[in-house]
Chains A and B, each alone.
Chain A
Amino acid sequence: MRPRTKRRVVNSVRYFFTILTLVVFLFPAYWITITAFKPASEWNEWPPHFWPYHPTLSNFFGGTSVSSIEGILPFLRNSLVIATIVSVVTAVIALLAAYSIARFKTGGMGLAGWIISMRMLPPVTIVIPLYVIYAKVNLLNTWTGLILIYLVPAIALGVWILITFINQIPKELDEAAKIDGASNLQIFTRVILPLSLSGVAAVMVLTFIQTWSEFLLATILTSNSASQTLPVYLGRFITGYNIAWGALSAAGLITMLPVIVFGIIFQRYLISGLTFGAVKY
């Protein structure tokens, strides 16, 4: 075989396996998406329909609270409010701490490591004592209760990302401002803050999508539509013998779509955040 032909064959094989792998890995997302648009008659069809033969929006609108997701709005509201507040508070607290650690080495590696480790610990370990505490102080089934616990991993990630951002701001800028008579607070508000805004944005987006997806803590600490988030709504949907797969998938689609869209747009930060800087694109 001539080298050029050989290369062509090798590349075709590579394309074939790449696409095959992608088909397998994206299949769950695909199945959720198409089932969301299938009418009830196609949910349990054999052989399964690989696309909706009669696409419909009935899983989203109309029907009862079990056959469509008409009742999703309070949960959507809870998810939006909680994820937004967590993002904003995280950005503020984390930026302050990151400035302190990056510029003044406050607490050294011990403190930085301790803060960062807060992001890696299993949520189930904190939720057991927290349930007892929340029951005493009436924080069960409240937005505040969920927001507080979501801040624990979010702030840890935020501090880490923002330290790396502030480290990229030349120290000479601080010093120049100081010579001009600026106080530390003015240096922070006029130099550090404006120059780390893109980092702050990254922290907010990452926090938003991770808070949005969280299930374990939400399902234990909340009990009704006053504060339950979308993933809990999904978990509750799957009761009874006749599961409304279409409606369940529609809710699943609404839950995963914002995460995927945001995730792709901000993939650079998502990846470096998830790997703690082991990976930089």
Chain B
Amino acid sequence: MSKANRKIAILFILPVIIFYLIMAIYPFASMIYESFTNLNLTIANSGQFIGLSNYFEIFQDPLALSSIDFSAMVIYIGVPIEILLGLVFAYLIRGLKGEKVFRTLFLIPMMIPGIVFGIAAQMIFNYLFGAANYFLSFFGVQPVAWLGQASTAQFVIIFLDVLQWTPFVFLIIYAGLLSVPQDLTDAAKVDGANGWQTFLHVEFPTLRPLLYVALIIRVIDALKIFGKIYMTTWGGPGTATSSWSFYIYKVGVSYGWDIGYASALAVILLIVSTILVNILIRFLNLGEQLGISKES
């Protein structure tokens, strides 16, 4: 690289690097340090080094374990449903007259802020006047206190996640279907393959990498679920719908300003997320996509 090129290359990248050093690296480093201390904002002179105690505490804290459990539940129940429904809807509207309009309408849920979703859920799943109980009454079902019991509250949170993010998975699959070469499906038909066989042997192999991408992005994002919980159940009843992110918020902010312990929980979440993000970057083949990996 010539000297003039190197000068401008470095000059232009510098703002980003300085910014992230201050706003990401420094906070993350101080979080890792604080995770080894007993820093509590309500206790004067706290912040002594206590080694790995915070990390050991996680394994003995039933609330931490149950919040990790619930986050896992959102992932292993919600995400497969999102992928399945996304797949079904992509096939449902493909080739229908007006599919562009349907596609655009189906985009709307993923654009709605999670917090607004929460308000809608508060009304729809209200025990006394909610539309959900009204619909169920047609089938003779007695009114359900949706947000008042552990299992139904968990159902509501996962249901909201599905409502909001199925469209996202759908979009990925739908775009993937458009990219299946037409002559491949035609050839399969000529060979006498029925719809199911075409799907299994022609379309699914094309979709598979995209399904992985959708899966990883959804898992990363499901770990962040917060606004909907804050607005509907506030983690309750008890701790039934307290997710990992929400529990960190409760420990670190709303309940006791226990920064040391919250940091330890956050460090583990950060590690898990970082691993997933790195897998994603590999899967997306980002280097090639951005034209960086190829030498020029």
Q: Does A260 contact B (CB under 8 A)?
A: yes
- Chain B residues with CB under 8 Å of A94's CB are 16
The one of B113, B248, B274 in contact with A231, judged by C-beta atoms closer than 8 angstroms, is: B113
The one of A152, A163, A164 in contact with B20, judged by C-beta atoms closer than 8 angstroms, is: A152
CB distance from A176 to the nearest CB of B (A): 16
- Taken residue by residue from 174 to 204, chain A's Cβ proximity to chain B (1 for < 8 Å, 0 otherwise) reads as 0000000001110010000000000000000
Contact at B231–A238, with CB atoms within 8 Å?
yes
- Chain B residues with CB under 8 Å of A155's CB are 16, 19-20
Q: A109–B278 Cα gap in the complex (Å)?
A: 12
CB distance from B89 to the nearest CB of A (A): 6
Q: Does B263 contact A (CB under 8 A)?
A: yes
The one of B24, B112, B114, B286 in contact with A112, judged by C-beta atoms closer than 8 angstroms, is: B286
Q: A248–B120 Cα gap in the complex (Å)?
A: 10
Q: A206–B134 Cα gap in the complex (Å)?
A: 38
Interface residues of A in 133-150 (CB under 8 A from B): 133, 135, 148-149
Q: A131–B263 Cα gap in the complex (Å)?
A: 12
Contact at A28–B120, with CB atoms within 8 Å?
yes
Contact at B107–A35, with CB atoms within 8 Å?
no
Which of the candidate stretches B55-63, B123-131, B145-153, B185-193 sits at the interface with the other chain?
B123-131
What band does the interface of chain B fall in when counting residues whose beta carbon is under 8 Å from A? 35 or more
Contact at B223–A122, with CB atoms within 8 Å?
yes
CB distance from A152 to the nearest CB of B (A): 5
The one of A107, A125, A185 in contact with B266, judged by C-beta atoms closer than 8 angstroms, is: A125
Contact at A132–B16, with CB atoms within 8 Å?
no
- Chain A residues with CB under 8 Å of B224's CB are 122-124
The one of B92, B227, B280 in contact with A216, judged by C-beta atoms closer than 8 angstroms, is: B227
- Across the interface, name the chain A residue whose C-beta is closest to B162: A25
- Taken residue by residue from 250 to 263, chain A's Cβ proximity to chain B (1 for < 8 Å, 0 otherwise) reads as 00100110011001
Interface residues of B in 100-135 (CB under 8 A from A): 102, 104-117, 119-124, 128-131, 134
Q: A275–B165 Cα gap in the complex (Å)?
A: 12
The one of B24, B277, B291, B293 in contact with A126, judged by C-beta atoms closer than 8 angstroms, is: B24
Q: Does B70 contact A (CB under 8 A)?
A: no
Contact at B263–A128, with CB atoms within 8 Å?
yes
- Chain B residues with CB under 8 Å of A275's CB are 168, 171-172, 213-214, 217
CB distance from A41 to the nearest CB of B (A): 12
Taking A109-B287, A120-B273, A155-B16 as contacts, is the C-beta distance between A28 and B220 under 8 angstroms?
A: no
Contact at B227–A113, with CB atoms within 8 Å?
no
Interface residues of B in 199-242 (CB under 8 A from A): 210, 213-214, 217, 220, 223-224, 226-227, 230-231
Q: A132–B15 Cα gap in the complex (Å)?
A: 24
- Chain A residues with CB under 8 Å of B121's CB are 28
Q: Does B38 contact A (CB under 8 A)?
A: no
CB distance from B138 to the nearest CB of A (A): 11
- Taken residue by residue from 74 to 108, chain A's Cβ proximity to chain B (1 for < 8 Å, 0 otherwise) reads as 00000000000000000001101101111111111
Contact at A106–B13, with CB atoms within 8 Å?
yes
Q: Does A24 contact B (CB under 8 A)?
A: yes
Contact at B167–A128, with CB atoms within 8 Å?
no
- Across the interface, name the chain B residue whose C-beta is closest to A274: B168
- Chain A residues with CB under 8 Å of B287's CB are 109, 112
Contact at A118–B120, with CB atoms within 8 Å?
no
Q: What residues of chain B have their CB less than 8 Å away from a CB belonging to chain A?
A: 1, 4-10, 12-13, 15-16, 19-20, 23-24, 26-28, 30-31, 34, 39, 41, 89, 92-93, 96, 102, 104-117, 119-124, 128-131, 134, 163, 166-168, 171-172, 175-176, 210, 213-214, 217, 220, 223-224, 226-227, 230-231, 245, 248-249, 252-253, 259, 262-263, 266-267, 269-270, 273-274, 276-278, 280-281, 284, 286-287, 289-293, 296
26 sampled A-B residue pairs with Cβ under 8 A:
A14-B93, A17-B92, A31-B124, A93-B15, A93-B19, A97-B13, A97-B16, A106-B12, A116-B286, A118-B24, A120-B277, A120-B280, A122-B223, A128-B248, A129-B30, A132-B34, A160-B290, A183-B4, A188-B12, A213-B115, A220-B253, A245-B123, A256-B112, A270-B107, A275-B172, A275-B214
Known pairs A100-B13, A215-B230, A279-B171; list 15 more (Cβ under 8 Å): A14-B92, A22-B106, A29-B109, A43-B129, A93-B15, A97-B12, A100-B9, A106-B12, A112-B290, A130-B27, A220-B253, A235-B230, A252-B116, A267-B104, A278-B213
What 8 pairs between A and B have smallest CB-CB spacing? Answer: A28-B120, A104-B9, A213-B113, A129-B31, A100-B12, A263-B111, A96-B12, A97-B16
